[in-house]
A = this chain, B = another copy of it.
Amino acid sequence: MANTSELLRGHTDTILLAQLAKGDSYGYQLSKTVSEATGGALEFKEATLYTAFRRLEEAGAITSYWGEASAGARRRYYSITEAGKEALSEGRKQWQSVRGMLDELLGKE
């Protein structure tokens, strides 16, 4: 019916903010990190990733800067802002709420 990514729609920004809250990172690395953390179950598509960065930067949740080119290509690093931390906190709360609802509504009986 639906694939994993569609079921995560809307949570992308929160996931990225949660990763950036651990420290600055760049697109390629973030996608690898997320992929590894989920055992390959979640693979951010590049288009998804970079549009999310644009969206988050536009919203003031992250800032970016060009870092050292290394092992092949230039990297654009992203850094979470204070506003981003608040958005992350809000996103986590929403996740708790959503999780509770679905657990309740999909209960096996």
Contacts and interface: CB of A to CB of B under 8 A. Distances in A.
A57 interface: no
A46 to B, nearest CB: 18
Contacts of A6: 9-10
At the interface, is chain A mostly helix, strand, loop or mixed? helix
Contact-residue size bin, chain A (C-beta under 8 Å from the other chain): 35 or more
A1 B37 contact: no
State how many copies of this chain the complex holds: 2
Contacts of A101: 4, 8, 38, 41-42
A10 B3 CA distance: 9
A92 B105 contact: no
Nearest to A16: B105
